[in-house]
Amino acid sequence: MSESSKLNASMTQEEREEAKAMTDYLIGDEETSREDIIGRFSQNSQQYEKAMKGINFKCPMQTAQTAAELFPGERKDVYVLDVAAGTGLCADELYHHGFRTMDALDPSSKMLEEAKKKGLYGRYFIEVLGENAIDIENDTYDAVTISGLSLMVLKKMPLKAMEELIRIVKPGGYIINTAFYNLFPDDGDVKAVIFRENMKTLESQGKWKQVELRRFPEVILGNEVAVSIHKVLV
């Protein structure tokens, strides 16, 4: 049993219900603006990890495991940008697999303040994907990890945001995105049509290719989880 699972098991039912309520609040709904979602994460940055443990949030573990399989050799020099880094939960797991060269990107300075306490990242970028070009050179990273990006933000992610991630990843590198499974298939979440169309547009342009959609049996907040792996081609 993982440390997260142990902590979840040691929580009272009331604590687990509080964790679920906070997570639902953080996620928001279709009417919640991106600015409000960022504000909610900022306001709850110090309680975030407890809430994630309360719902037995395994996305960072699955993301890191996938990254480790994609880079089976020496990993200390594999350069990773952790998008939606939050408090560094994914970095914790990546570090466990031997990754040592990581940067963080998140729109919430408060969440990154918590992440800095762990000392796992080299650089920290306070950015909203898709608004402006990120101050990162082309072909910098071997991989981008996305684990726990707000569902409502992800569904509305603009094409420009995906193009920026492709730009900063080396050809042959990977973009690893862990989210609810029903975001990805054509018969999935009807509110995620733009997200799926954007992924297909970039594939038709020869910029990236989805090499795997890895479905996991774990259920978080009643939703099945999957890892989407895209290989950058340009």
| 46 and 87 inside one domain | no
- Residue 209 sits in a domain whose CATH number is 3.40.50.150
Residues 36-75 pLDDT 10s: 999 999 999 999 999 999 998 999 999 999 999 999 999 9
Q: Domain of residue 13: give its range.
A: 3-54
| 45 and 152 inside one domain | no
| 143 and 169 inside one domain | yes
Choose the final residue of a domain: 54, 76, 92.
Answer: 54
Q: How far apart are CA 169 and CA 179, in angstroms?
A: 20
Give the rounded percent of residues in the chain with a pLDDT score beyond 70: 96
Average pLDDT, the chain: 92
| 117 and 63 inside one domain | yes
| 23 and 104 inside one domain | no
| 139 and 48 inside one domain | no
**Residue-level pLDDT at 11:** 81
Q: How far apart are CA 102 and CA 131, in angstroms?
A: 23
Residues 19-35 pLDDT 10s: 999 999 999 999 999 99
**Structurally, how many domains does the chain consist of?**
2
**Residue-level pLDDT at 70:** 98
| 17 and 118 inside one domain | no
Mean pLDDT calculated for residue range 76-97: 98
Residue found under tokens 């547009």: 201
| 124 and 154 inside one domain | yes
Rounded to two decimals, the pTM is 0.93
Asked if residues 67 and 99 have their Cβ atoms less than 8 Å apart, the reply is yes
| 37 and 144 inside one domain | no
| 66 and 167 inside one domain | yes
**Residue-level pLDDT at 151:** 84
When pLDDT is cut at 50, 70 and 90, the band that residue 6 belongs to is: very low
**Residue-level pLDDT at 206:** 98
CA-wise closest residue to 129 among 99, 64, 85, 90: 85
| 40 and 76 inside one domain | no
Residue found under tokens 């603009």: 158
| 192 and 111 inside one domain | yes
